[in-house]
Amino acid sequence: MDTECISLARDIVVGVSALVVATVAFLGLRTWRRELTGKAKFDLARNTMLLALKLKADFEWARNPGGWSWEYAGRTWQESESPGVKEVLNQWYAKNQRLEPLVENLQKFQEVSWEAEIVLGEDSSKRVSEALAIYRRSYGELSSAIDSYFETRHEEAIGHDVSMHQDWLKELRKVIFSAKDDDFSKQIDKAIEQLAPALKTYVK
C-alpha cells in the first residue's frame, strides 16, 4: 500500500512538473514571439523614418540651384558643341545624376511599404503608402520638369525660337530649382509630417 501511494505521489509530482514546464515553455514562447514582433516593428518604423528623411535630403539636393564642374565630368561631349549647348547639356547631365540616389531610395521606400502592410497596423501602413504616393508623384513631376526644361533650353541653344515657351520655362524652373518653403518642398514635408506620428508609437 505504501509502495502504491509513493508511486502514485511520484506520478502526480511528475505530471505536475511536466505541466509546469509546459506552461512555462508556452509563456516563454509567447513572450519571445511578442519581443520579436516588437523588435520587427521597431526596426521597420525606424528604417521607414530614416528613408523618409533621406528622400527629403535627396529632393533638396536634386533641386539645389548650385552647380559644380565635377558633376558633369563624366559626360561624353562632342567637339562640335558650342559653349551654349555645352552649358545646357552639362546642367542637364548634372541634374539627372542627382536623381540617381533619389531613385534608389524611392525603391527602398517601396519595399518598406510592402513590409509595413504585413508588420504594422492598418493606420500606420496607410500613412506609409500615402507618403510613398507623394514621393512618387514628386519624383515624376521633378524628372519630367528637368527633361522638358533642358530639352527646350537645348533647342534654344542650337538656334530655335522658343520665345513662346518662356512662361512655361519659368514654371518648370520653380520645380527644378528649390526656393525656401515653396510648394514642392511643402509636399515633401507633408509626407514626413504624416509619417512621424504614425511611426512614433513603435519606437518608444
Grid coordinates given for 41: 516593428
Task: Say what the pLDDT of residue 121 is.
Answer: 82
Nearest to residue 40, comparing CAs of 121, 145, 120, 154? 120
Grid coordinates given for 84: 551654349
Grid coordinates given for 70: 565635377
Q: 161: helix, coil or strand?
A: coil
Task: Say what the pLDDT of residue 172 is.
Answer: 96
Helices 183-200 and 122-157, packing angle to 10 deg? 160
Range of the domain at 127: 2-200
* Tens-level pLDDT at each residue, the chain (204 residues): 556 655 555 655 555 554 544 444 444 444 434 444 568 888 888 999 999 999 999 999 999 999 899 998 889 988 889 999 999 999 999 999 999 999 999 999 999 999 999 888 888 889 999 999 999 999 999 999 999 999 999 999 999 999 999 999 999 999 999 887 899 999 999 999 989 888 888 776
- Per the document, the length of the chain is 204
Spatial distance between the Cα atoms of 176 and 104, rounded to a whole number of angstroms: 19
Task: Say what the pLDDT of residue 4 is.
Answer: 60
Task: Say what the pLDDT of residue 22 is.
Answer: 46
Task: Say what the pLDDT of residue 33 is.
Answer: 46
Task: Say what the pLDDT of residue 138 is.
Answer: 96
CB atoms within 10 A of CB 40: 15
Considering its fold, how many domains does the chain have in total?
A: 1
- Distances in whole angstroms, Cα of residue 45 to Cα of each of 27, 59, 66, 104, 127: 27, 21, 34, 19, 12
